[in-house]
């Protein structure tokens, strides 16, 4: 009798908790609301295969991150050499990942090597050749440092993409790293796949570059190169005729200011032309830099460059203080909003490439849900009927446990915010069979005990005692397999593992605690003399 004291309380608490977590989803479906309104406001999330959406696998070009680091170090080294008044004949980035330098004079060589030891300890001397007063040196990054940069590039890309998607408004996205440089993205419910791809894949490297008016842009278009300058284009499309125009600009390679100093970007409407534009705000350091650049270059043009495309190149009329600027570019409201999102989320540390893309239509998801539910209901009806016919009243007890089993799985999915997928429905159907199997084992043991002449009470106790170890053995091994699938599986496989794990735990609870509580209640409390089994 002491055992009965805690079991009803435990069963009651578990059932009430399951109902509380399932009710918001039921209420949401009945009232056709997009989000649950009932407390605890948690719902059963549907996976990509059940509500449609987008599946992407991106590959981060991590080698570009190493090249960008080498480019930055090369520029810093040049600045330091000028600051220290160290003359050099040549210093340039070669092959993307190396820096080649040439110095003349013993004093310059000694100062250069002292500077490397003091400020650039991360650089590795790949080769060094000294002949008389001339030094030829090649530097690169150690492999461990390059590997760290590549790993960081993937992790930073993941965070940047996650921020963009969060601001885009996608609920329940699945974003994770696969391998060393791939990122898996699943966006349930997304219909405009091209817009989502543009938002995710844009590098969003914002730069402000001075226009080079000292050289001929026409000569640059014809192929002539000018040291320290590069040719970029402003590309615009006429929305009515869909004709594109390309205006060439010769700009300084070195950016006067970058988007690294941005603190905010938002869409505003131009009162004069009634067109949207993106207003950007710099932090204190960026505001000082912007003010200095505009003060030193009045009457010159400053190009606003995003991913090597020029958006506009206005003439600086006067010094601009306050740290605010605007990006105009004949945007639609949607384009301006997406641009503001990518600027707020920051630039990707390296370009990304789409290597796998799949879309699932909502009608396919609805059809999958319908067929999955039909399978589950048909299987449930057959099992319930079999148990009721074969085990009579005891079979009805097993059927009650089976229904409660499904309730507990649904409650668990909502409570842990797990995602229900099509394989997840298969996992639920599988656990229905496992839950019945546990009761069949128990009932058969009870029948054997009754056959050898034991009382019903003793037969029930012996039946449960003999079957418990077997049930635990079968379910625990299944649970271990499900946990391994959850740890190493992805997407639908993980969804299957989640429902299987919840189903195994629910099955153990209903078979070993709930049904025994019911038998004990009737045999001990109600003094029932016969057992229908």
User: Which of 236, 213, 190, 184 minimizes the C-alpha distance to 299?
Assistant: 213
Q: Each residue of 388-404: pLDDT tens digit? A: 999 989 999 999 999 99
Query: Does the pLDDT at position 79 exceed 60?
Result: yes
- Does the pLDDT value for residue 507 go beyond 80? yes
Helix (H) or strand (E) holding 448: helix 422-451
pLDDT band at 490 (very low <50, low <70, confident <90, very high): low
> Quick one: pLDDT at residue 491?
65
Taking only the tens place, the pLDDT of each residue in 413-445 is 999 888 788 888 888 888 888 888 899 999 999
- Please give the average per-residue pLDDT across 155-179, as a whole number: 83
| Three-class HEC string of 7-47 | HHHHHHHHHHHHHHHHHHHHHHHHHCCCCCCCCCCCCCEEC
Pick the closest to residue 457 from 519, 377, 368, 369 (CA basis): 519
Rounded average pLDDT over 293-305 = 90
Q: How confident is the model at residue 446 (pLDDT cuts 50, 70, 90)?
A: very high
Q: Give the list of residues 6+ apart from residue 231 with CB closer than 8 angstroms, or none.
A: 217, 220, 221, 248, 249, 250
| Angstrom distance (rounded) from CA 446 to CA 436 | 15
Query: How much is the average pLDDT of 117-145?
Result: 90
Poorest-confidence range of 3-7, 12-16, 373-377, 440-444? 3-7
Task: Flag whether pLDDT at 3 surpasses 70.
Answer: no
Over residues 202-233, the pLDDT tens digits come to 888 888 999 998 888 899 899 888 888 899 99
Helix 143-168 vs helix 333-345: crossing angle, to nearest 10: 140
Q: What is the pLDDT of residue 6?
A: 80
Q: What percentage of the chain exceeds 90 in pLDDT?
A: 28
Average pLDDT over residues 296-304: 90
Helix, strand, coil percentages in the chain from 3-state DSSP, rounded to 5: 55, 20, 25
Best CA proximity match to 20, nearest among 45, 1, 39: 39
Residue 1 has pLDDT above 60, yes or no: no
In the predicted model, is pLDDT for residue 29 greater than 90? no
- What's the pLDDT score for residue 485? 85
* DSSP designation for 232: E
> What is the rounded average pLDDT of the residues 502-506?
92
211 neighbors 315 (Cβ within 8 angstroms): no
For 324-371, the pLDDT digits (tens) are: 888 877 778 888 888 888 888 888 888 899 998 888 776 666 776 788
Report the range of poorest mean pLDDT among 58-67, 122-131, 249-258, 268-277.
268-277
Question: What's the CA dihedral at 342, 345, 350, 354 to 10 degrees?
Answer: -60
**Averaged pLDDT, 148-164:** 90
What percent of the chain lies above the pLDDT cut of 70?
97
> Residue 241 pLDDT > 80, yes or no?
no
Q: Determine which helix (DSSP H) or strand (DSSP E) holds 6, and give its type and residue range.
A: helix 2-31
CA dist 431 → 49, 61, 293, 436, 501 (Å): 21, 43, 68, 8, 9
* Per-residue pLDDT, 228: 82
pTM over 0.75: no
Instruction: Provide the pLDDT confidence category of residue 17 given band limits of 50, 70 and 90.
Output: very high
What value does the mean pLDDT take over residues 135-158? 92
Examine the pLDDT at 4 and tell me if it is beyond 60. no
Query: How many whole angstroms separate alpha carbon 243 and alpha carbon 298?
Result: 34
Greater confidence, 495 or 458? 458
Range list of β-strands (E), 61-132: 90-94, 98-104, 124-131
Identify whether 100 is preceded by a cis peptide bond (ω within 30 of 0): no
Average pLDDT, the chain: 86
Q: Can you give the pLDDT at residue 23?
A: 93
pLDDT score for 444: 93
d(CA 522, CA 457): 10
Distance between CA atoms of 177 and 59, rounded to whole angstroms?
Answer: 10
Nearest to 31 by CA among 48, 43, 49: 43
Looking at residue 504, its pLDDT comes to 92
Per-residue pLDDT tens digits for 247-281: 999 999 888 888 888 888 888 888 777 888 888 89
């Amino acid at each position: 009798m002491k055992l009965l004291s805690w079991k009803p309380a435990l069963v009651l608490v578990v059932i009430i908790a399951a109902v509380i977590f399932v009710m918001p989803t039921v209420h949401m479906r009945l009232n056709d609301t997009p989000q649950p309104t009932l407390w605890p406001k948690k719902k059963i999330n549907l996976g990509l295969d059940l509500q449609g959406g987008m599946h992407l696998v991106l590959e981060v070009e991590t080698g570009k991150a190493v090249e960008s680091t080498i480019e930055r170090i090369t520029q810093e080294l040049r600045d330091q050499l000028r600051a220290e008044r160290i003359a050099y004949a040549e210093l340039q980035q070669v092959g993307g990942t190396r820096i080649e330098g040439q110095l003349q004079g013993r004093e310059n060589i000694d100062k250069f090597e002292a500077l490397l030891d003091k400020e650039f300890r991360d650089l590795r001397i790949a080769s060094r050749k000294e002949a008389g007063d001339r030094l030829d040196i090649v530097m690169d990054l150690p492999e461990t440092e390059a590997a760290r940069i590549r790993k960081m590039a993937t992790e930073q890309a993941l965070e940047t993409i996650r921020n963009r998607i969060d601001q885009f408004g996608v609920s329940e996205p699945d974003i994770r790293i696969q391998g060393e440089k791939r990122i898996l993205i699943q966006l349930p419910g997304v219909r405009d796949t091209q817009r989502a791809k543009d938002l995710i894949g844009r590098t969003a490297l914002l730069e402000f570059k001075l226009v080079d008016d000292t050289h001929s842009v026409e000569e640059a278009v014809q192929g002539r190169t000018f040291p320290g300058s590069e040719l970029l284009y402003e590309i615009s499309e006429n929305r009515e005729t869909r004709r594109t125009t390309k205006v060439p600009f010769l700009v300084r390679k070195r950016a006067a200011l970058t988007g690294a100093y941005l603190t905010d970007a938002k869409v505003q409407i131009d009162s004069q032309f009634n067109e949207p534009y993106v207003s950007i705000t710099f932090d204190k350091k960026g505001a000082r830099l912007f003010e200095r650049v505009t003060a030193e270059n009045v009457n010159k043009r400053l190009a606003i460059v995003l991913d090597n495309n020029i958006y506009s190149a206005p003439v600086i009329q006067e010094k601009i203080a306050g740290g605010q600027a605007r990006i105009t570019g004949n945007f639609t409201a949607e384009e301006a909003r997406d641009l503001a999102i990518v600027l707020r989320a920051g630039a990707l540390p390296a370009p990304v490439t789409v290597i796998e893309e799949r879309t699932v239509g909502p009608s396919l998801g609805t059809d999958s849900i319908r067929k999955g539910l039909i399978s589950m209901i048909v299987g449930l009806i057959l099992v319930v009927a079999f148990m009721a016919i074969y085990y009579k009243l005891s079979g009805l007890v097993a059927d009650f446990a089976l229904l409660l089993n499904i309730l507990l799985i649904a409650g668990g999915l909502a409570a842990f915010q797990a995602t229900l997928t099509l394989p997840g429905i298969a996992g639920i159907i599988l656990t229905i069979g496992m839950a019945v199997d546990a009761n069949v084992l128990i009932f058969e043991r009870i029948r054997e005990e009754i056959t050898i002449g034991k009382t019903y009470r003793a037969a029930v106790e012996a039946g449960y005692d003999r079957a418990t170890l077997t049930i635990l053995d079968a379910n625990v091994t299944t649970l271990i397999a499900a946990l391994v699938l959850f740890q190493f599986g992805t997407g639908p496989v993980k969804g299957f593992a989640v429902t299987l794990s919840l189903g195994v735990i629910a099955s153990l609870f209903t078979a070993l605690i709930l049904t025994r509580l019911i038998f004990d209640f009737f045999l001990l409390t109600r003094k029932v003399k016969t057992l229908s089994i």
